[in-house]
Amino acid sequence: MNTPLTAPWPSDVTDVVAVRRDLHAHPEVGFTEIRTAARVETALRELGWRVRSGADVVDPAGHPGLPPAAVLDAAAERARAEGVPADQVARLSGGRTAVVADLDGERPGPRVAFRFDMDALPIGEDGDRRHVPSREGFASRHPGVMHACGHDGHVAIGLALAAALSARDFPGSVRLLFQPAEEGVRGAEPMAAAGVLAGVDVVVAIHLAFGLPTGVIAPSATELIATSKHLARFTGRQAHAAKAPEQGRNALLAAATAALNLHALPPFAGAVTRVNVGRLEAGVAPNVIAGAAELAYETRADSADVAAELARRAEIVVRAAAQMHETGVELVRTGHATAAHTDASVAAALTAAAEGVARVRATHPLGASDDASLLMRAVQEAGGAAGYAIVGSDTPGPPHSPRFDVDEAVLPVAVTWLERAVKGGSW
């Protein structure tokens, strides 16, 4: 059920497990993370960081991946019910759920940014008592939404890192990027457009789990796959399915034809490619020719060039399906990410910081997409360096499943590791 807070936010953000559990119990999907962003913003200000939020660091207005107004309004109302002050709700609503914080060290050095994503997924959490969050009382309070990818842990790590660095005993400066809407690869682009990477010399993103066991850190993730997410809206003409089917233009059949042929696209030699149709909605009744249909699909490839070509071919398939069934079709790209790599200097710094903290596996395949890649590419193209690392965690279920959970023992380990990397300053 959706209920107001029954317990206060942990007074000490260094209690990384308590913070993670609070966030886990209050998951919010992309661009609706008002409560999460408000908690982050408040904690960072109390720690003495210079904080910017809302429209100052993200402006998703007009972004095709922004949820409908009704969803955004409902998120604001829920945040108010859960105790978020009115001024924060106003500042962070409308999809403006991003927070950026800066802190200067006590001696010269590079400006290093860390990206922490905040959003949850539209997945109902497992209520079985064998599932630790359900047994321990911190399972999702929001029906149909859960942290099924570890982003609650990422935020908790980021806040504990902010506390660990608050004494300023490090070189250079640190910028923390708390990003909305990583799921669907929607949030990084409007943050980058708002200038959050200005002056950044190094940017690092981390992710929990992804097949790496507890006690192991991979300073350099491989297989960060480029992707494009698309929405195809087919417009046909309704008609009586028996009396006058020829007068109709079947949008459902057009979408179904597109779905089947998208999955028939051939692979590319020497490249890893993926195509998936994840949603198809159409029709009103079995005796009515469907006048409208909506199809959501994605393309992925481990090369940016191949990804672009695959997306081009997918568009041809969709438009041909519409032409075949004489319907209209509107295509919208709702999100994207590029292929990315970790620079050797960043991998070396993260490896050195992990000594004595965790076992190191030089590389580990992510095998997925993350729009942190857009931030990485932007910094690299400006002459800086970037990295994407994986913090191992045993999980009872795979990412994006109702039984996903993280091993909370890895959270303080990740904080210590990143703190050591910052204080080492060898990027």
pLDDT at residue 4, as a whole number: 42
Q: How far apart are CA 217 and CA 389, in angstroms?
A: 7
With both helix axes pointing from N to C terminus, report the angle between 410-424 and 344-354 in degrees, rounded to the nearest 10.
120
Whose structure tokens read 């994605």? 298
Q: Which fold has domain 226-337?
A: Alpha-Beta Plaits (3.30.70)
- Closest by alpha carbon to 304, among 276, 258, 273, 269? 273
| Per-residue tens of pLDDT for the chain, all 427 residues | 344 444 466 767 889 999 999 999 999 999 999 999 999 999 999 999 999 999 999 988 878 899 999 999 999 999 999 999 999 999 999 999 999 999 999 999 999 999 999 999 999 999 999 999 999 999 999 999 999 999 999 999 999 999 999 999 999 999 999 999 999 999 999 999 999 999 999 999 999 999 999 999 999 999 999 999 999 999 999 999 999 999 999 999 999 999 999 999 999 999 999 999 999 999 999 999 999 999 999 999 999 999 999 999 999 999 999 999 999 999 999 999 999 999 999 999 999 999 999 999 999 999 999 999 999 999 999 999 999 999 999 999 999 999 999 999 999 999 999 999 999 989 9
The CATH number of 16-224+339-424, from 3.40.630.10, 3.40.1160.10, 3.40.50.300, 3.40.367.20, is 3.40.630.10
Q: Which structure tokens are listed for 351? A: 């490896």
142 in a labelled binding site: no
CA atoms of 280 and 396, how far apart (whole Å): 30
User: Side-chain half-sphere of 400: how many Cα atoms within 13 Å?
Assistant: 4
Q: Quick one: tokens of 426?
A: 């060898």
Residue 2: predicted pLDDT: 40
pLDDT of res. 3: 40
Question: What φ, ψ does residue 394 adopt, rounded to 5°?
Answer: -65, 140
Residue 183 marked ligand-binding = yes
In this structure, are residues 12 and 22 in contact, taking their beta carbons and an 8 Å threshold?
no
Q: To 10 degrees, what angle do helices 34-46 and 69-81 make?
A: 50
* Other CB atoms within 10 Å distance of the CB of residue 307: 26
* CA angle, residues 75, 37, 66, in degrees to nearest 5: 50
Strand partners, 141: none
Distance between CA 157 and CA 23 in Å, rounded? 12
CA distances from 159 to 20, 27, 42, 94 (A): 10, 17, 11, 24
Query: CATH 3.40.630.10 residue ranges in the chain?
Result: 16-224+339-424
Contact criterion met (CB below 8 Å) for 55 and 193? no
> What is the tally of helices (H) and strands (E) in the chain?
12, 14
CA–CA distance, 70 with 67 (Å, rounded to integer): 8
Half-sphere exposure of 427 (CA within 13 A, CB side): 26
H runs (alpha helix) in 240-289: 251-262
Three-state secondary-structure class, residue 176: strand
Crossing angle of the two packed helices 151-165 and 34-46, in degrees rounded to 10: 10
151 is in an annotated binding site: yes
Residues of each domain in the chain carrying CATH 3.30.70.360:
226-337
What is the pLDDT at residue 59? 85
Q: In what order do the strands lie in the sheet with 273-282?
A: 273-282, 292-301, 226-235, 328-337
pTM of the full predicted structure?
Answer: 0.94
User: H or E segment at 375?
Assistant: helix 372-381
CA 362, CA 348: separation in Å to the nearest integer? 9
Predicted confidence at residue 9, as pLDDT, reads 65
Alpha-carbon distance 340 to 365, whole Å? Answer: 12
Query: What is the separation of C-alpha 189 from the centre of its chain, rounded to a whole number of angstroms?
Result: 12
- 207 known ligand binder: yes
Q: What are 17's two structure tokens?
A: 């497990």
Q: 374 and 229 in contact (C-beta within 8 Å)?
A: no
364 a known binding residue?
A: no
What's the CA gap between 208 and 212, in Å, rounded? 8
DSSP-assigned states of every residue in 106-128:
SEEEEEEEEEEE--BBS-PPP--
CA distance 393 to 148: 13
**What is the number of other CB atoms lying within 10 angstroms of the CB of residue 315?**
17
Point out which residues pair with 240 in neighbouring strands: 288
